[in-house]
Amino acid sequence: MKRKSNAKSNACTECNVNNLTIFNKLTIDEINYINFEKTCYQYKKNTILYNEGNRISGCYCVHDGIIKLYKTGIEGREHIIRFAKAGDLIGYRSLFSGELACHSAKVLEDATVCFIPGEVMFNLVEQNSKFALEILRLACHELDVANSFIRDMAQKTVKERLAEILLILKDDFGIDENNYIKINLTREDLANIIGTATESVIRLLGEFKDQNIIDIEGRKIKLLDINSLQKISEKSA
């Protein structure tokens, strides 16, 4: 069930992630059109934006916070596809394909998300060829990432995949002044990304720590030796 907090006014023209999104290809009039039609909400952690198999009537632009996108497998186990952050657009593929949602979206860290009705998105694609091209490029990029993940699952060991995902998280979310990755995940979440048991992730993180490749403080992971992580992740490349 969705649980929304108070609606938030968030003008696209003043949005601090505008340059990170595909919406920077729109004209001022088109941006104003979105502003008038969209609805922005602040969502608390663990709120479900939509469930796999639901019909989506629009798409979501993340203003701040982190959204977990995942599929549910055997016995209800999650398989995490990716994490959406500020500037990311989610739900658009199911919207444009007319299919049911192919994954679920859950708030991992408190977030502000703007919902854009489907009719608005269809109108913008019809009116603005540059915007339509950016939608196509985004879809192609996500397909390429998915294909790379399938290859890695088939060819790389769990240890190599864990090293790779730590590097991906670093690139996607950055590290703070103390080299901690700026996203805190449970061991279960890490296991659900790379497709293994939680116990295996705990054991391998312990190995990385013993080798002074990382340090761990609760859910926080500090990168001590990025070069070693890169070497481990590329062993099967």
CA pair distance 223, 227, nearest whole angstrom: 10
Question: What are 81-115's pLDDT values in tens digits?
Answer: 999 999 899 999 999 999 999 899 999 999 999 99
Q: Is the pLDDT of residue 46 over 60?
A: yes
Bridge partners, residue 190, by sequence: none
Binned at pLDDT 50, 70 and 90, residue 2 comes out as very low
Cα 15 versus chain centre, distance: 19
Regarding whether 135 and 21 lie in a shared domain, the answer is yes
Question: What are 130-162's pLDDT values in tens digits?
Answer: 999 999 999 998 888 888 877 777 788 999 999
Binned at pLDDT 50, 70 and 90, residue 3 comes out as very low
Regarding whether 170 and 107 lie in a shared domain, the answer is no
CA pair distance 162, 28, nearest whole angstrom: 43
Regarding whether 215 and 190 lie in a shared domain, the answer is yes
Between 236 and 148, the more confident residue is 148
**Residue 56 belongs to what domain range?**
4-152
Regarding whether 194 and 108 lie in a shared domain, the answer is no
Residue type, 159: K
Residue that finishes a domain, picked among 104, 137, 152: 152
Mean pLDDT for the stretch of residues 28-36: 91
Q: Is the pLDDT of residue 11 over 50?
A: yes
Token pair listed for 113: 């998300």
Mean pLDDT for the stretch of residues 174-198: 93
Mean pLDDT for the stretch of residues 59-80: 88
Q: So what's the pLDDT on residue 74?
A: 73
Mean pLDDT for the chain?
89
161: burial class by Cβ within 10 Å (0-12, 13-18, 19+)?
buried
Regarding whether 96 and 41 lie in a shared domain, the answer is yes
Binned at pLDDT 50, 70 and 90, residue 1 comes out as very low
Domain count along the chain: 2
CA pair distance 140, 154, nearest whole angstrom: 21
Regarding whether 172 and 140 lie in a shared domain, the answer is no
Q: Is the pLDDT of residue 197 over 60?
A: yes
CATH number of the domain within which 124 lies: 2.60.120.10
